Amino acid sequence: MSRKERPRIEPSTLKRILLIRLRRIGDVVMTTPAVAALKKSLPRASLTYIAEEPYRRLVEGNPRLGRVISVPPDQGFLDFLGFIRKLRREKYDALIDFHGGPRASRIAFLARARVKAGYKLKYKNFIYDIRLPRGRKDGYIHSVENHLNLVKALGIAVSELSPLELPSARPEEKKRIDAYWRENDLAGKKAVVLHIGAGNAFRDWGADNLAALSDLLAGRSGVKVILVGSAGDKPREKEILGTIRRPVLSLVAELNLIELRELLGQAALFVGPDSGPMHIAAAAGTPIVALFGPTLPENFGPWQAEATLIARDLDCRPCRQRRCITDDFRCLRSIRPEEVYDACLVYL
């Protein structure tokens, strides 16, 4: 039978399910409610998750997953063929592609599964037996709900909207954060974790704004500011530390993703742009002050989190983050440090 002729499969027969979500932090974290929904409805099913390095740590150790397969971010053609050859030895009852990107869709096409679910995407619809639009005509839909809809499309019942869920910290990860808390006399203090990264120019609030906010927060009694970011944010860290007047702490490029969650779990507040660390803060249950520029909270806001979201109501939002039509990134850069500081005071 052709794919179009294949009947829908009874959910109770789905024993082995392959899940695909490549790329970055927030993208992976926002699939975890769908993973929880799958396991709750099909407790005996074995779930396998394909993720990219270094983001596999966000799902590695998740008790709902039977196996996590990691792939390098830059995979040569021969390595990809070897990976596919091994994957095709496995025969899955169902496959869900939460991504739909070029490599994810190739994996979905070449993997063996009785039924495949994914998003309606130009030139890729033939890959999937079940296809859903990524958005909706009558408004916006959150990415978490999009992923849950793919689960529902397989005929699987979703009784509740689960929170974001990350694996437990390993003993050495928890020990390191606990030691950092003691060594820096953070007990009894209100720690504010400030994410200085951006990902691209469209989400970059600017070193000057970050430095001004750091000074405002660090000047408040009982508050300690901790800068976080990736290795690519080291120049930005140096710029901020060379500008501010008050001392702050920094863990830029020093934490893995679960250590960041442990740090956030003990913090009073997270501040930063729409980013992967923002979603980790939501998973940790930490209050959030988030700055939204080219993206919309309706699509990517912190899921089920206590949060204040700051954005500008501009006609050019949202945008595809390819060219700023005003050339000044005003959707984000026009947000003043004093405005963000006032929002932080609600939680401090």
Please tell me whether residues 182 and 140 are part of one structural domain: no
pLDDT of 2: 41
Same domain, 54 and 20: yes
CA distance 320 to 224: 36
Residue 23 confidence class, pLDDT cut points 50, 70, 90: confident
Q: Residue 34: inside a domain, yes or no? A: yes
Q: What Å distances lie between residue 72 and 69, 76, 310, CA to CA?
A: 10, 9, 35
Q: What is the DSSP string of 84-150?
A: HHHHTTS-EEEEEES--SHHHHHHHHHS-EEEEEEE--TTTGGG-SEEE-SSBTTB---HHHHHHHH
From 153, 185, 206, the end of a domain falls on: 153
306-320 pLDDT per residue, tens: 999 999 998 999 888
Is pTM, for the whole model, over 0.75?
yes
DSSP-derived letter for residue 259 is H
Query: pLDDT tier at 198 (50, 70, 90 boundaries)?
Result: confident
Cα–Cα distance for residue pair 169/211, rounded to 1 Å: 31
214 has a pLDDT exceeding 90: yes
pLDDT band at 8 (very low <50, low <70, confident <90, very high): low
Q: Evaluate if residue 104 carries a pLDDT over 70.
A: yes
Flag whether 121 is in a domain.
yes
pLDDT digits (tens, 9 = 90+) for 35-45: 999 999 999 99
Answer whether residue 217 shows pLDDT above 90: yes
Q: What is the pLDDT of residues 51-97, one digit of tens each?
A: 999 899 999 999 999 999 999 988 899 999 999 999 999 999 999 99
- 160 located within any domain: no
Q: Look up residue 227 and give its DSSP letter.
A: E
Provide the residue range defining the domain that includes 283: 171-345
| Whole-angstrom distance, CA of residue 324 vs CA of residue 331 | 10
> Is the residue at 165 inside a domain?
no
Q: Using a pLDDT cut of 70, give the percent of the chain over it.
A: 98
Q: Give the rounded distance of the alpha carbon of 251 from its chain centre.
A: 20
pLDDT, mean over the chain: 93
The pLDDT score that the predictor gives to residue 3 is 46
Whether residue 164 lies inside any domain: the answer is: no
Q: Name the band, by pLDDT with cuts 50, 70 and 90, for residue 6.
A: very low
Strands (E) located in the chain: 16-20, 46-52, 67-71, 92-97, 113-119, 130-132, 190-195, 223-228, 249-250, 269-273, 288-292, 307-311
**Does residue 115 register a pLDDT over 60?**
yes
User: Does residue 22 have a pLDDT over 90?
Assistant: yes
User: Where a domain ends, among 153, 188, 218?
Assistant: 153
In order, the DSSP letters of 150-178 are HHHHTT----S-PPP--PPPPHHHHHHHH
The CATH number of the domain holding residue 184 is 3.40.50.2000
**pLDDT tens-digit map of 218-269:** 999 999 999 999 999 999 999 999 999 999 999 999 999 999 999 999 999 9
Total of domains in the chain? 2
Q: Are residues 149 and 191 in the same domain?
A: no
